[in-house]
Structure 1
Amino acid sequence: MRHFTLKQLNYFTTTVETESIVEASRKLHIAQPSISTAIKNLESSFGQQLLIRHHAQGISLTPSGRRFYDKAKELLRASHEFEQNSLADSDIVSGKISIGCFESVAPLYIPKLTAGFKKMYPGIEVQLHDGQQHEVMAGLHRGQFDLALLYDLEIDNSVRKEPLNAPHKPYALLPENHPLALKESVTLEELSQESMILLDVIPSRNYFLNIFAEKGLYPKVAYTSPSIEMVRCMVGQGQGFSILVTRPCNKMTYDGKRLEYVEIEDDMESSMLIMAYLKTDEPTKPARLFMDYCLSTNLEPSS
Structure 2
Amino acid sequence: MTHFTLRQLRYFVAVVEEDSIVEAARQLHISQPSISVAIKNLEETFNQRLFIRHHAQGVSLTASGRRLYERARELLRLSYELEQNARAENDLVSGTVAIGCFESAAPLYMPKLVAGFKQNYPEITIQLYDGEQHELMHGLHRGRFDLAFLYDLELGDSINKERLNAPHKPYALLPAAHPLARKKAVTLKELSREPMILLDVVPSRNYFIDIFKEKGYCPTVAYSSPSIEMVRCMVGQGLGFSVLVTRPSTDMTYDGKRLAQVNIHDEMPASMLIMAYLRNNEPTKATQLFMDYCRTVDLSPGILAHAEPA
Give the TM-score normalised by the residue count of structure 2: 0.96
Residue 186 (structure 1) aligns with: 186
Residue 162 (structure 1) aligns with: 162
User: 1:290, 1:284 → 2: CA distance?
Assistant: 10
Alignment of 1:252 with 2:252, yes or no, is: yes
Return the offset for 1:302. Answer: 3.8
Residue 59 (structure 1) aligns with: 59
Indicate if the aligned counterparts of 2:168 and 2:273 stay in contact, CA closer than 8 A.
no
* Structure 2 portions without partners, runs of 5+: 304-310
Q: Where does 1:21-170 land on structure 2 (aligned, <5 Å)?
A: 21-165=21-165, 168-170=168-170
Indicate if the aligned counterparts of 1:175 and 1:259 stay in contact, CA closer than 8 A.
yes
Indicate if the aligned counterparts of 2:166 and 2:298 stay in contact, CA closer than 8 A.
no
SS at match of 1:190: helix
User: 1:35, 1:218 → 2: CA distance?
Assistant: 54
* Structure 1 portions without partners, runs of 5+: none
SS at match of 1:269: coil
Residue 6 (structure 2) aligns with: 6
Q: Where does 1:204-215 land on structure 2 (aligned, <5 Å)?
A: 204-215=204-215
Could you give the per-residue CA deviations for residues 128-177 of structure 1, whole angstroms, max 9, x where no partner exists? 11111101110110000000011111111000001112562100000011
Alignment of 1:301 with 2:301, yes or no, is: yes
User: 1:302, 1:112 → 2: CA distance?
Assistant: 11
User: 1:85, 1:169 → 2: CA distance?
Assistant: 38
Runs of 4+ in 1 over 4 A off after TM superposition: none
Identity %: 69
Return the offset for 1:2. Answer: 5.2
User: 1:254, 1:82 → 2: CA distance?
Assistant: 45
- Tell me: CA distance 1:167–1:115, structure 2 relative to 1, closer, same or farther (3 Å): closer
Return the offset for 1:59. Answer: 1.2
CA RMSD of aligned residues (A): 1.1
* Residue type of the alignment partner of 2:253: T
User: 1:154, 1:165 → 2: CA distance?
Assistant: 20
User: 1:155, 1:21 → 2: CA distance?
Assistant: 32
Alignment of 1:219 with 2:219, yes or no, is: yes
Return the offset for 1:194. Answer: 0.4
- Count residues in correspondence: 303
Could you give the per-residue CA deviations for residues 106-140 of structure 1, whole angstroms, max 9, x where no partner exists? 00000001001111111111101111110111011
Return the offset for 1:231. Answer: 0.2
Give the TM-score normalised by the residue count of structure 1: 0.98
